[in-house]
Structures are given as structure tokens and as C-alpha cells.
Amino acid sequence: MVILQKFSSAVLRSLRVLSAILGVVIGNIALNALSNQHPIWIWLPLALLSIFLLVLPQLLKRELDRRPLEERQFTPKQIYAGMGLAHSAIILAGVYRLLMVRDAEWRLIIIVVIVLDICLLAFLTPRVLKIIKQSERG
């Protein structure tokens, strides 16, 4: 596609990830609207948007395949930054659910998940920083 040629490889890689995530989220919203018997004019556009967002990564992949290999791949720094953001999002979502859930058993499960994720993040962060420093040197 001519429009996609104007974007840098970094933008295309980010768009690819974001469109896949948004496609799944919007598809979930569309299915929820359908199961709650909302009118067709609410869930049908959401479903079509979700399908487009799930096809868009394939179009972006075709454009990235035309570029050199170095431009197609994420750098280790970008991968680890994404992992850190994902863990932070899991922790924040867990804290939110912890505040909203009233059941003691679910609260305990959520606390365990949050603590395990914080431990994993604390364990991985020094190693990730070491790998990033090594990749910047060499």
C-alpha cells in the first residue's frame, strides 16, 4: 500500500502491535454487546472494526517484508521496554480489580498474582539493564 510506504519501520512495527491488541479488545466489546442483545447498529460496526484491526497487521507485515531485516525487527531495548510496560499494566489492572472485588478468596488470588508479578519484574529488571548495556557497547 502506498500510504504505508511513507511510515518508518518503527512506526509500522508499533502500529502492528497496537492494531492487534485493539482488534482483540474491540472484538471482545462487540461480542459483549451482542451477548447482551444490544441493537445491531452498536455491535456490527464494532465487529467490522475489530476484523479490520485484526487484518491490518498482515498488511503491515507485507510492507515490513519489503524492507531490510534490521528495520523489520524490534531492538532488545524495545522488547524489554514492552515487557516492562506489560508487567506494569498487569500490576495496575490487579490493583484496580483488588479495589473492586469484595470476595475474600478472589482478593487473595489477585494479591498473589500482583506479588508474583512484582517479584518477576524485580528479578528481571537488573538482568534486562545488563543486557541493554551490553548491546549498547557492542
**CA distances to 19, 30, 126 from 37, in Å:** 26, 11, 49
**17/28 same-domain check:** yes
**43/93 same-domain check:** no
Domain closes at, from 72, 96, 115: 72
In contact, 46 and 29? CB cutoff 8 Å: yes
Q: Which tens digits make up the pLDDT trace of 21-61?
A: 898 889 888 888 888 888 889 889 999 999 998 888 888 88
Q: Which tens digits make up the pLDDT trace of 98-119?
A: 888 888 888 898 899 899 989 8
Domain closes at, from 17, 38, 72: 72
Those residues with Cβ within 8 angstroms of residue 77's Cβ, 6 or more apart along the chain or in another chain: 132, 135
pLDDT of residue 98: 87
Is a pLDDT exceeding 70 seen at residue 136? yes
Structural domain span for residue 119: 74-138
Domain closes at, from 72, 94, 126: 72
**3/35 same-domain check:** yes
Instruction: Return d(Cα 105, Cα 57) in angstroms, integer.
Output: 39
pLDDT of residue 45: 92
**87/104 same-domain check:** yes
Is a pLDDT exceeding 70 seen at residue 1? no
Residue (of 12, 48, 15, 16) closest to 29 by Cα position: 48
**67/81 same-domain check:** no
